[in-house]
Amino acid sequence: MAERPHDPTAEFRASTDLAARNGWDREYQTYSDFDLPVYVGQSTFQKLPWITDPAELLARGVDVAIIGAPFDDAVSHRPGARFGPRAIREANYGTGSLNSLQLDVEPFEVLTVVDAGDANIVPAWIERAHAVIYRKVHEVAATGAIPFILGGDHSITWPAVTAVAELRRPGSVGIVHFDAHADTANDDWGVLAGHGTPMRRLIESGAVAGRNFVQVGLRGYWPPRDTFAWMKAQGLRWHFMREIEERGAEAVIADAVAEALDGPDYVYLSLDIDVIDPGMAPGTGTPEPGGMLTRELLRAIRHVAGQVELAGMDVVEVSPPYDHAQTTAMAANRAVLEALSALAVKKRDGRRVRWGGGEAAS
């Protein structure tokens, strides 16, 4: 009869003190969720606290609340932006107390920022999606926090801005809109709530006046001439990409900021990520060659957020299925960080950031 082979793990398995044997019982430093690597734990924006209760937002005196709007049923071309909020949240490598080299500020040491979760979206129901986005933004903004909405296709801007504008009345809200496309179509094949129509809906509804619209980065072959005739009649102002090519981004953005401050009491910043050239941000629903450089856009966002009375911001049309190595999602993530850093500088310098129902609140 053959002998049983020696089992070298028998003694190991018989041990009743494996932790001591392997050194697993030693003291190790532990870290807060905020300081853990981005791939550990819950996926929130920059590992920030996940606070969805409006009463808690109010109690904490939150300055900025991140909101997800994972909805893309209103796209006219490439779907996938429903996955944008999660991709933007995950597209970062730094955690904890970040330091902005551009603005010399640690935004999360100055601002109180949380992730307020997502709107209660279900697929294939445009009206319901817009309703729950409106309600989510409204309940968050009503606490005094500035809502930063992660889209989602650009149709989400219609309910999001409407909620903010209603809360800020009797003050007026204007829009600085970075986009390759004007999004002022009357309809998308008969659909009034498509992602090519939100800016017209906002103007027609009275939520925002046309004279308080400034658009930057328009290029390509849409919209048609009759749409621009309507825009001109409403008093919209816009800057084609060719202006940036001819005059430089600095001059164009300076003009856009001056126009944004000419009239409205507050400004909402809407960023369609396709304003960036698709060579740098390929993961979009309607890519348009010949766009802004990423660095030009990030600088522009710092200028706008740092100079206006910011009422809200959205970043839309990030479509991860078409992204390469998270480059589009990273650009969107960084756009939010740049706006937050600009707000942190304002608060550090004693200027108002958080909205308190019309009362000054730092």
Question: For residue 347, what are its two tokens?
Answer: 């608060």
Q: Within the chain, where are the H helices?
A: 10-14, 18-22, 54-60, 84-90, 107-110, 126-141, 157-168, 198-205, 225-234, 241-247, 249-260, 294-307, 327-348
Range of the domain at 261: 33-350
Whole-number Å distance between alpha carbons of 248 and 309 = 25
Say what the pLDDT of residue 13 is.
56
Q: For 56-109, where are the E strands, in sequence order?
A: 64-69
Distance CA 177, CA 187 (A): 19
Cis peptide before 170 (omega within 30 of 0): yes
pLDDT of 223: 87
**pLDDT value, residue 1:** 55
CA angle at 209 for the pair 170 and 233, rounded to the nearest 5°: 155
> Burial code of 166-205, b = ≥16 C-beta within 10 A, e = fewer?
ebbeeebbbbbbbbbbbbbbeebeeeebbbbbbbbbbbee
Q: What pLDDT was estimated at residue 361?
A: 38
Report yes or no on 6 lying in a domain. Answer: no
pLDDT of residue 104: 98
How many domains does the chain contain in total? 1
Residue 204 identity (one-letter amino acid): E
List the one residue out of 55, 208, 272 whose CA is nearest residue 145.
Answer: 55
Residue at 213 is within a domain: yes
Residue range 125-147: mean pLDDT, rounded: 96
Residues 83/322, Cβ–Cβ less than 8 Å? no
* Residue 356 is assigned to a structural domain of this protein: no
The answer to the question of residue 20 being in a domain is: no
Answer whether 305's CB lies under 8 Å from 339's CB.
yes
Instruction: Render pLDDT for 179-213 as a digit per residue (tens, 0 to 9).
Output: 999 999 999 888 889 999 999 999 999 999 999 99
Tens-place pLDDT, residues 24-46: 888 889 888 888 887 787 889 99
Q: Tell me, what CATH number does 153's domain have?
A: 3.40.800.10
Q: What are phi and psi of 200, to 5 degrees?
A: -65, -40
In a domain, 154, yes or no: yes
Confidence of residue 358 (pLDDT cuts 50, 70, 90): very low
Instruction: Determine, yes or no, domain membership for 284.
Output: yes
Within a domain: 247: yes
The rounded mean pLDDT for the chain is 92
pLDDT tens-digit profile of 97-128? 899 999 999 999 999 999 999 999 999 999 99
Residue 123 counted as domain residue = yes
